[in-house]
């Protein structure tokens, strides 16, 4: 006769234990599962993408009801257990039903901690734990405007990002001075904060909540310093507490959690516990990787195999916010016994820190580039000696592979037991077996069969390497790369649909292309917005929610959350009147720093957000318009002194620069676009590292394209030589329009030209005159709208920044 196993908690740890048990001893037990939530078990980790609109609930279900049926499991959904009777070995549920057990498994997880501040019981105050919480947030986003998330940890930021995606004004209140202080050091936390603020989140660090105000529903949050913040919805993400009430009432030994030994047994040997409700060797848990290890050990003992001990786990964390790459593991702060290797590339938003002790990795924080997170984590867990490739370590697995140590080779060399996917507890051996036995060839197939890379996606690169190493040359990489997870369409297909179907609003575009998510994500929204504006400049409706905060407020957000205001200075030439206006504004608004930039402009650095409308009003009054120093747009046209003044100058670079800038300013482009004009081949304006560079030679102008002066320097390609000012303008406009119509959103001219090839550009801009003239005409047509019907006025109600039409600009 079968023994009876009862499970309390139909969540991630409980059901993983049952999955492991079914592998080991499928016939051993009659299993009954009680679940408080009215659903089969789902991937709780993926609630954040569901909230963000990137996944639907159906997609995150781990085991359908049919799975329980097929395995003979009696599932009682929406049926919380209210009592454990240890004497007669049975559990009693809220609906009065009972189930006897020979073994009992408690997997009740944890509960979100709700700060006991006055007002915490008001309507609209919730935690973030279940699909029901997500539904409440989505409903609130439809009816209300202002959300506050208390807690700037992993959960809080994922909640805030999700709500922001649905168009709410979101403020995050975080008590410590840095975000995610349990996973990030200060440097990485600052980068993260700047990125999130750039997307429109308000973040208050060092903020202590005093009370929540409102009659029936919450209306405001009051901070201890007296500030009040509008709040129609308050999400508390300030921590979790193991859910141990039931166990305690049954007389089981509990401290912070249900105390278990290395076999996952409680002090009553017939009762096991796994997951966030347990306390093991003094530790409680909040991530799935350790829970899955516990599940394995527990299943082994339930199967009466009697070996396997749980001895604790290392953990790693990733933030699931689209477009934000962040990884953290182990002792990432370091101490007096450790040393750190740090790589920081602020302008590319990359920060990596590895903490080492005795040539072994103790911890890691990666921001901006997390491709190697899984690899560092593996080296850390295995305690590998890294001295042989210490000097290359920071540049990642692939770099070391170039030297013969890693990449596909190292994936092949990984042990079968090495864990690849921490979210789903999948080892390399599981993946290799599935590839071989099922004949898998694509990443999607591997995801489907093994669940590896199917949750946070952090191990995708590693899974691909294993796939490539296992299948040899047969690995079929995805044929086309979708624009983002919300759609299967590529950038090119989306553009084409916008053109063919005359799509001019985000809603229409998403409906036509059957977007998977109702509101898209931070990757697709700005791209769609750009493609529609570039294709239908006269009709497309600019969507402020699809723009980053910099573009909405006409200023560059800085790491201390102040802003830099940069007025346009045509061709780098200014006047005493403009300088006076800038100086007056700097004094009036007590701007902490006035700085000359490398692009021949003047930065007003350190302006407060609330000052932006007024400082721009003053500058506009003096005839100055925004320099778009923050935008995916024409930035600057830099000039040298030219033939008017220079002893060597052969051409009038100053006036050519001014003409070019006046023709092209205000144009939105796939990425930032910089120009320069040098009056002679000495090239003092550095025109050959710009997106479009003009170099004066005797009696003519050389036109150069596709340069870049950033981290990855690229010298321009010579496009052609022309003679007149009009030709320079025509070729520049045609080139910009070609780039606007063909490059992917966020693709600079340098990689675009490398992708499409210089002949593609030359053919359309130089060789085919009719095509050039048509491109130029379309460029001028869209400029009429960009410059005379400024998007700032059309779309943003939050400021009074006005662009002055070109003819009003004082500068000649």
Ligand X SMILES: Cc1cc2nc3c(=O)[nH]c(=O)nc-3n(C[C@H](O)[C@H](O)[C@H](O)COP(=O)(O)OP(=O)(O)OC[C@H]3O[C@@H](n4cnc5c(N)ncnc54)[C@H](O)[C@@H]3O)c2cc1C
Return the axis-axis angle of helices 443-450 and 460-471, rounded to nearest 10°: 110
Establish if 37 lies at the interface with ligand X (CB under 6 A). yes
Question: Which range touches ligand X (CB under 6 A), out of 33-41, 141-149, 361-369, 407-415?
Answer: 33-41
CA separation for the pair 658, 639 (Å, rounded): 9
With contact defined as beta carbons under 8 Å apart, do 620 and 802 qualify? Answer: yes
What phi, psi does 322 have (nearest 5°)? -55, 135
Establish if 81 lies at the interface with ligand X (CB under 6 A). yes
Q: Is 545 helix (H, G, I), strand (E, B) or coil?
A: helix
Q: Which is nearer to ligand X, 454 or 728 (CB)?
A: 454
Judged by CB under 6 A, the chain residues 657 through 696 that form the site for ligand X are none
Establish if 10 lies at the interface with ligand X (CB under 6 A). yes
Question: Which range touches ligand X (CB under 6 A), out of 32-40, 260-268, 476-484, 493-501?
Answer: 32-40
Q: Which is nearer to ligand X, 284 or 600 (CB)?
A: 284
With contact defined as beta carbons under 8 Å apart, do 744 and 670 qualify? Answer: yes
Task: Determine which residue in the list 30, 35, 185, 370 makes contact with ligand X, applying CB under 6 A.
Answer: 35
- The count of chain residues that interact with ligand X, using the rule CB under 6 A, is 34
Establish if 44 lies at the interface with ligand X (CB under 6 A). yes
Q: How far is the CB of 250 from ligand X (least distance, A)?
A: 11
* C-alpha separations of 235 from 157, 159, 255, 278, 588 in Å: 11, 8, 27, 25, 39
Return the axis-axis angle of helices 524-535 and 725-742, rounded to nearest 10°: 140
Q: How far is the CB of 34 from ligand X (least distance, A)?
A: 4
Exposure string of 164-181, with b = 16+ CB inside 10 Å and e = fewer, is: bbbebbbbbbbeeebbbb
Establish if 800 lies at the interface with ligand X (CB under 6 A). no
Q: Which is nearer to ligand X, 9 or 124 (CB)?
A: 9
Rg (CA), the chain: 30
Judged by CB under 6 A, the chain residues 103 through 132 that form the site for ligand X are 107-109, 128-129
Judged by CB under 6 A, the chain residues 280 through 299 that form the site for ligand X are 286-289, 291
38 contact partners, CB below 8 Å, separation of at least 6: 77, 78
With contact defined as beta carbons under 8 Å apart, do 125 and 236 qualify? Answer: yes
Q: How far is the CB of 275 from ligand X (least distance, A)?
A: 2
Residue nearest to ligand X (CB): 11
Q: Which is nearer to ligand X, 137 or 804 (CB)?
A: 137
Question: Which range touches ligand X (CB under 6 A), out of 36-44, 367-375, 388-396, 399-407?
Answer: 36-44
Q: Which is nearer to ligand X, 256 or 755 (CB)?
A: 256
The neighbour count for residue 337, using CB atoms within 10 Å, is 9
19 contact partners, CB below 8 Å, separation of at least 6: 63, 295
Q: Which is nearer to ligand X, 13 or 150 (CB)?
A: 13
Question: Which range touches ligand X (CB under 6 A), out of 4-12, 66-74, 254-262, 611-619?
Answer: 4-12
Judged by CB under 6 A, the chain residues 488 through 517 that form the site for ligand X are none
Establish if 456 lies at the interface with ligand X (CB under 6 A). yes
| Contact flags string 736-775 toward ligand X, x per CB under 6 A | ----------------------------------------
With contact defined as beta carbons under 8 Å apart, do 654 and 641 qualify? Answer: yes
Establish if 36 lies at the interface with ligand X (CB under 6 A). yes
Question: Which range touches ligand X (CB under 6 A), out of 40-48, 221-229, 468-476, 561-569?
Answer: 40-48
Q: How far is the CB of 40 from ligand X (least distance, A)?
A: 10
What phi, psi does 603 have (nearest 5°)? -90, 130
With contact defined as beta carbons under 8 Å apart, do 737 and 698 qualify? Answer: no
Pairing assessment for the beta strands 326-330 and 360-367 based on DSSP bridges? antiparallel
Judged by CB under 6 A, the chain residues 230 through 269 that form the site for ligand X are 243, 246
CA separation for the pair 674, 601 (Å, rounded): 13
DSSP H or E run through 500: helix 491-500
The strand ranges marked E within 217-297 are 220-223, 228-230, 233-236, 240-242, 258-260, 271-273, 278-280
Question: Which range touches ligand X (CB under 6 A), out of 9-17, 206-214, 356-364, 734-742?
Answer: 9-17
Judged by CB under 6 A, the chain residues 153 through 192 that form the site for ligand X are 155
Q: Which is nearer to ligand X, 245 or 724 (CB)?
A: 245
Establish if 14 lies at the interface with ligand X (CB under 6 A). yes
Task: Determine which residue in the list 6, 8, 238, 355 makes contact with ligand X, applying CB under 6 A.
Answer: 8
Question: Which range touches ligand X (CB under 6 A), out of 29-37, 521-529, 571-579, 621-629?
Answer: 29-37
The neighbour count for residue 336, using CB atoms within 10 Å, is 5
Q: How far is the CB of 153 from ligand X (least distance, A)?
A: 11
* C-alpha separations of 213 from 145, 216, 558 in Å: 16, 9, 33
The neighbour count for residue 654, using CB atoms within 10 Å, is 23
**Residues engaged in binding ligand X (CB under 6 A):** 8-14, 34-37, 44-45, 47-48, 80-81, 107-109, 128-129, 155, 243, 246, 275-276, 286-289, 291, 320, 456
């Amino acid at each position: 006769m079968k023994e009876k196993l009862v499970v309390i908690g139909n969540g991630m740890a409980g059901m993983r234990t049952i999955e492991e048990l079914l592998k080991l001893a499928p016939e051993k037990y009659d299993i009954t599962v009680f679940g408080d939530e009215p659903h089969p078990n789902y991937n709780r980790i993926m609630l954040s993408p569901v909230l963000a609109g990137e996944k639907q609930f159906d997609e995150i279900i781990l085991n359908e009801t049919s799975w329980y049926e097929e395995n003979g499991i009696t599932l009682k959904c929406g049926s919380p257990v209210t009592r454990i009777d240890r004497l007669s070995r049975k559990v009693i549920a809220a609906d009065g039903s009972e189930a006897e057990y020979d073994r009992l498994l408690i997997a009740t997880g944890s509960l979100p901690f709700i700060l006991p501040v006055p007002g915490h019981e008001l309507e609209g105050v919730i935690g973030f734990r279940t699909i029901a919480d997500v539904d409440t947030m989505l409903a609130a986003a439809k009816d209300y405007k202002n959300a506050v998330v208390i807690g700037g940890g992993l959960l809080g930021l994922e909640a805030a990002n999700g709500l922001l995606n649905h168009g709410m004004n979101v403020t995050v209140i975080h008590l410590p001075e840095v975000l995610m202080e349990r996973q990030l050091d200060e440097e990485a936390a600052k980068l993260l904060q700047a990125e999130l603020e750039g997307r429109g989140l308000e973040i208050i660090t060092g903020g202590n909540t005093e009370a929540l105000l409102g009659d029936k529903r919450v209306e405001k949050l009051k901070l201890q310093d007296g500030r009040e913040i509008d709040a129609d919805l308050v999400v508390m993400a300030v921590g979790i507490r193991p859910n141990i009430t039931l166990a305690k009432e049954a007389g089981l030994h509990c401290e912070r959690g249900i105390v278990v030994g290395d076999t996952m047994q409680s002090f009553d040997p017939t009762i096991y516990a796994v997951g966030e409700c347990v306390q093991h060797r003094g530790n409680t848990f909040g991530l799935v990787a350790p829970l899955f290890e516990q599940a394995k050990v527990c299943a082994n003992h339930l199967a009466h195999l009697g070996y396997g001990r749980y001895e604790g786990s290392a953990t790693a964390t990733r933030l699931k916010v689209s477009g934000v790459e962040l990884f953290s593991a182990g002792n990432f702060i370091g101490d007096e016994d450790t040393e750190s290797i740090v790589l920081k590339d602020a302008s590319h938003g990359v920060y990596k820190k590895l903490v080492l002790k005795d040539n072994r990795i103790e911890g890691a924080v990666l921001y901006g580039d997390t491709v190697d997170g899984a690899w560092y984590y593996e080296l850390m867990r295995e305690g590998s000696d890294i001295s042989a490739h210490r000097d290359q370590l920071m540049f990642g697995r692939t770099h070391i592979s170039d030297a013969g140590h890693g990449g596909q080779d190292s994936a092949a060399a990984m042990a079968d037991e090495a864990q690849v996917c921490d979210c789903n507890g999948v080892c390399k051996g599981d993946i290799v077996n599935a590839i071989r036995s099922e004949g898998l060839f694509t990443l999607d197939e591997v995801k489907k069969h093994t669940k590896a890379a199917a949750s946070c996606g952090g191990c995708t690169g590693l899974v691909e390497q294993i796939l490539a190493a296992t299948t040899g040359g047969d690995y079929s990489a995805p044929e086309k790369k979708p624009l983002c997870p919300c759609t299967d369409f590529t950038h090119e297909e989306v553009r084409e649909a916008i053109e063919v179907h005359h799509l001019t609003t985000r809603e229409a575009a998403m409906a036509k292309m059957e977007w998977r998510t109702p509101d898209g994500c931070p990757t697709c929204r700005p791209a769609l917005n750009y493609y529609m504006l570039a294709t239908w400049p006269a009709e497309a409706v600019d969507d402020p929610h699809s723009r980053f905060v910099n573009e909405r407020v006409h200023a560059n957000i800085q790491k201390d959350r102040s802003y830099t205001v940069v007025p346009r200075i045509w061709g780098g030439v200014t006047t005493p009147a403009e300088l006076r206006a800038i100086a007056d504004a700097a004094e009036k608004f007590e701007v902490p720093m006035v700085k000359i930039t490398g692009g021949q402009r003047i930065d007003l650095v350190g302006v407060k957000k609330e000052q932006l409308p007024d400082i721009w009003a003053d500058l506009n009054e003096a005839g100055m318009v925004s320099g778009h120093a923050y935008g995916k747009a024409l930035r600057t046209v830099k000039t040298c002194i030219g033939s008017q003044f220079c002893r060597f100058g052969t051409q009038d670079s100053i006036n050519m620069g001014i003409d070019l800038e006046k023709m092209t300013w205000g144009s939105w482009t796939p990425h930032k676009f910089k120009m320069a004009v040098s009056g002679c081949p000495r090239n003092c304006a550095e025109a050959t590292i710009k997106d479009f560079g003009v170099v004066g030679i005797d009696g003519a102008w050389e036109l150069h394209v596709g340069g870049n002066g950033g981290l990855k320097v690229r010298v321009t390609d010579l496009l052609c030589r022309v003679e007149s000012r009009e030709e320079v303008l025509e070729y520049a406009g045609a080139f910009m329009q070609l780039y606007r119509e063909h490059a992917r959103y966020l693709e600079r001219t340098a990689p675009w030209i490398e992708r499409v090839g210089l002949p593609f550009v030359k053919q359309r801009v130089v060789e085919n005159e009719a095509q050039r003239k048509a491109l130029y005409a379309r460029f001028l047509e869209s400029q009429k709208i960009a410059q005379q019907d400024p998007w700032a006025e059309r779309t943003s109600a939050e400021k009074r920044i006005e662009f002055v039409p070109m003819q009003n600009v004082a500068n000649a």
